[in-house]
Structure formats: structure tokens, C-alpha cells
Amino acid sequence: MTTPTTRAGAGGRAEPPGRTRRGVAGVQPVAAMLGVLALGLCLVTSLDVVSAAVALALELLLLPVLRIPPRTLLLRASPVLVAVPLTALSIALYGRPSGREWFDLGFVHVTDGSLTLALATALRVLAVGLPAVVLFVGVDPTDLADGLAQLLRLPARFVLGALAAVRMTTLLGEDWRQLARARRARGLADHGRLRRGASMAFALLVLALRRATTLAVAMESRGFGAPGPRTWARQARFAGPEWAMVAVLVGIGVASIGVAVAAGTWRA
């Protein structure tokens, strides 16, 4: 999550620690969020193969810029890669039939039309899913929270509360393992998996509530929710890199529409 760059702490000057990540990882996540949203809007205006293929091709060309190792990339994109064939298959089988018929089983029609639609949809899911996954997995929640609160002006109480909650979920994982060990130690783990799961879930809830209460007190004691303006120690910037990110993603969407219109395949 955090990079080992230790820019901060160098020198005693009263200067906030700057961006600790370089390159694309250092771009404010809100920019990626807005950009991917815009790209998605561009791509849902049409249902043709060409626009989706162009967008995907441009993305694949740009992918090396992110310098993500292929293994990591595959791992991050795996949910999308699983979803795509499933989506395509269901559309190929159940999509609106048109053109030559390849296969008919009453409720299942595989036709030229449904196959084309399946391909177009598969490419479209990839074209939106790939940048979303690649740009968002590994985002530091703190950066995202800063962006949401300072740039998009979401309420600080809500954003910081959610941020604290995200941080606490990591503790819940260890809680769950301890709960499982405790049940094994008591002789209760040989069977009755369902009932045991329910009792563990209840205990986890109690532990989580207890933690949340303490955390709320800790936050309150440090003036959280105090009346008066709140300042932000880290400035969420929306400058060159952020605009570039949005421009590239919107550019991909616009280019795909342009090519499709020129090729005459664009249909709203």
C-alpha cells in the first residue's frame, strides 16, 4: 500500500509531506474516477463492435505506461476477465435474435445478431472494466478520501468515518481467525459448521461494535466533529497530472465514437 519513498521527514521545514508516489500511482484517485466514469458514458452511447474495439485497443496501447507487471495485471483484472466470457455467453444465447440462425433450442437462439451483440458487449465490458480495475486496485484509501472530501466536497464526517471503517476491516480478518482458533481449542470445530459460523459472526459483530465505539471516542476527543471549519493537512491537488488522466480517458472515449461514426457502425 504505502511506498517506501521517504521524502517526508527529510529536513525540519514545516512543509506537508508531498506526494509519496510517482507516476500514475501519484495521480489523485478522484481524477481516475471521473475519467473512467466519462469513458463509460462515451461507450454506452453505442452498441457496436468498432467503438468498443477501438477503445480497448487504445487502452492496451497505453497499458505499458503504467508499468504494471503482467502477473499483477492479470491478478487485478481477473474479476473482469471472469465476467466477460459469462456476459458474452449469456448474450450470445439469449440476445435478441436477428440474421442467420446458427442454433435454436426454443428459448435459446444463437444468431448472427446475438453473436455480434455478444462480441460488442464483451469488448465494452473489457474497455470500461480494464481501466477501472487497473487504476483503482491499490489506491490508497486516504488519497481517495482526501479527494472525495476536498475536490468533490463530500461531507468530511462521512468520508473520514468511512475511511476509519475501511482501516478497521483489516483488524476484523485477524479477529475472525482468532474466533476460529478459539473454537478449535474448545472442541467445537469438528462439525456444525453452520451454527459455528453464526456464533462467530455474532462475536465478530460484538467485537466490531466495541472497536467502533472506542474509535469514535478517540476521534471525538481529538476534536472530530467540532464546530468551525476543518482544515486538511494534505492538499488534494487537481492539477496537470489529474487533468491529463481525465483527458486521456475522455480522449479514448471520444476517439472510439469518432472512428465508429466514420466507419458507419455507430448506432445510438
- Chain residues that interact with other proteins, rule: CB under 8 A: 1-3, 5-9, 12, 14-17, 20, 140-142, 163-164, 167, 170-171, 175, 178-190, 199, 203, 206-207, 210-211, 213-215, 217-235
The cell numbers describing 197, all together, are 459460523
Show the beta-strand stretches assigned E in the chain: 101-104, 109-111
End-to-end CA distance of the chain: 41
> Minimum distance between the CB of residue 84 and other proteins, rounded to whole angstroms?
30
| Cα 16 to Cα 43, 122, 224, 235, distances in angstroms | 40, 45, 21, 9
Residues ≥6 apart with Cβ < 8 Å to 49: 116, 119, 120, 123, 265
> Minimum distance between the CB of residue 70 and other proteins, rounded to whole angstroms?
24
Task: Report d(CA 158, CA 176) in Å as an integer.
Answer: 27
CB-wise, 69 or 227, nearer to other proteins?
227
- Helices 141-150 and 29-43 pack at an angle, to 10 degrees, of 80
| Cα 120 to Cα 54, 90, 104, 126, 129, distances in angstroms | 11, 13, 21, 10, 14
CB-wise, 105 or 185, nearer to other proteins?
185
CB-wise, 8 or 262, nearer to other proteins?
8
> Minimum distance between the CB of residue 67 and other proteins, rounded to whole angstroms?
21
CB-wise, 106 or 170, nearer to other proteins?
170
> Minimum distance between the CB of residue 195 and other proteins, rounded to whole angstroms?
10
> Minimum distance between the CB of residue 146 and other proteins, rounded to whole angstroms?
9
Task: Report d(CA 203, CA 20) in Å as an integer.
Answer: 38
CB-wise, 9 or 264, nearer to other proteins?
9
CB-wise, 27 or 115, nearer to other proteins?
27
Picking from 1, 140, 134, the residue whose alpha carbon sits closest to that of residue 74 is: 134
> Minimum distance between the CB of residue 145 and other proteins, rounded to whole angstroms?
10
